[in-house]
Amino acid sequence: MNNIPEDIMDIQRRYCQEVPSVRDAHRFIDDLIRFLFPIKDNKKPGLKETKIKYTQLEIQLEELLKPIKDNLKKSPEALSEQFFSYLHPVFIDLLEEAECYLENDPAAYNVEEVLLCYPGFYAVTVYRLSHILYLMEIPILPRIISEYAHSKTGIDIHPGATIGKKFFIDHGTGIVIGETTTIGNNVKIYQGVTLGALHVDKGMSHTKRHPTIEDNVIIYAGSTILGGDTVIGHNSVIGGNVWLTDSVDPGTIVFHRPQIEYRNGKKPSAGKKV
């Protein structure tokens, strides 16, 4: 007789702890973002509808936290109330961030376009909401939410990262921002950028493993910056495809100069293809 189902269930009982529902977590973050930006549903809700939705969101979060209540420092109800007490300033920051996208991207023609169409803004929105949960020391749920944004955008921002105001991501696909990364204000990064650790070792948990990016830095596509001691000084520009494991002074321009070789060793004349 085939005992595979029984064996699987036995393993599940022994090793699978209670966790928040992934489906409900995705629904919660979608509903929360639509509450903050009702334009996503092409709606302009009145005050009564807004209050009802706010209460529903509080209850949704409480229900998400109940499976892990034994690992929480407060009750699900208290933590839900605490989370929503932090929501207003984060919302204001997100509105400023949307304006930042409009100011920096010549392809953006209004804030509504940013809210509806920009994966970078969506990823940053989900990061800022999951970061609240992370700071509240709620286990598992911040990662479930941040990985949802990762799956939708290709942008991987750990909820533990510390990111300043007006963080601008252009295109975004392939960006990785590690847990202990610190990013200042008015930073711009492009697709394929990695802000990572020099190496992975479980013993490095709870240590600074990822770089610090100071204010007003631009990091162009494909660059990799590694290490907890690596600091990119303010007002610096990191060019595309740069590999950095050392710090950079403020106001520095770092770029990768490609080697160009011509066919037959001859430089083509102007107007001819290489």
Q: What is the pLDDT of residues 165-208, one digit of tens each?
A: 999 999 999 999 999 999 999 999 999 999 999 988 888 888 99
Q: What is the pLDDT of residue 152?
A: 97
Q: Mark whether 36 and 53 lie in a shared domain.
A: yes
Q: For residue 40, is pLDDT > 80? A: yes
Kindly calculate the radius of gyration of the chain based on its CA atoms and give it in whole angstroms.
22
229 and 199 in contact (C-beta within 8 Å)? no
What digits encode the pLDDT tens for the residues 59-71? 999 999 999 999 9
Q: What is the pLDDT of residue 36?
A: 97
- Say which CATH number the domain at 42 has: 1.10.3130.10
- Say which CATH number the domain at 248 has: 2.160.10.10
Residue 240 lies in a domain: yes
Q: Mark whether 107 and 176 lie in a shared domain.
A: no
Q: Mark whether 225 and 123 lie in a shared domain.
A: no
What digits encode the pLDDT tens for the residues 197-245? 998 888 888 899 999 999 999 999 999 999 999 999 999 999 999 999 9
Mean pLDDT of 86-107: 96
Residue 12 lies in a domain: no
- Beta bridge mates, 232: 213, 248
Whole-model pTM: value is 0.90
Helix H, strand E, coil C: the string for the chain is: CCCHHHHHHHHHHHHCCCCCCHHHHHHHHHHHHHHHCHHHHCCCCCHHHHHHHHHHHHHHHHHHHHHHHHHCCCCHHHHHHHHHHCHHHHHHHHHHHHHHHHHHCCCCCCHHHHHHHCHHHHHHHHHHHHHHHHHCCCCCHHHHHHHHHHHHHCCEECCCCEECCCCEEECCCCCEECCCCEECCCCEEECCCEEECCCCCHHHCCCCCCCEECCCCEECCCCEEECCCCEECCCCEECCCCEECCCECCCCEECCCCCCCCHHHCCCCCCCCC
| Total domain count, the chain | 2
Averaged confidence pLDDT in the chain = 93
- Between CA 80 and CA 265 the distance in angstroms is 68
Q: Mark whether 110 and 205 lie in a shared domain.
A: no
Q: Mark whether 214 and 271 lie in a shared domain.
A: yes
Last residue of a domain, one of 91, 126, 154: 154
Domain that holds residue 136: 17-154
Q: What is the pLDDT of residue 274?
A: 47
Mean pLDDT of 129-142: 97
Q: How far is CA 224 from CA 36, 203, 245, in A?
A: 34, 23, 8
Q: Mark whether 110 and 84 lie in a shared domain.
A: yes
What digits encode the pLDDT tens for the residues 143-160? 999 999 999 999 999 999
Q: Mark whether 114 and 174 lie in a shared domain.
A: no
Residue 7 lies in a domain: no
Residue 1 lies in a domain: no
- Between CA 274 and CA 266 the distance in angstroms is 10
Q: Mark whether 137 and 230 lie in a shared domain.
A: no
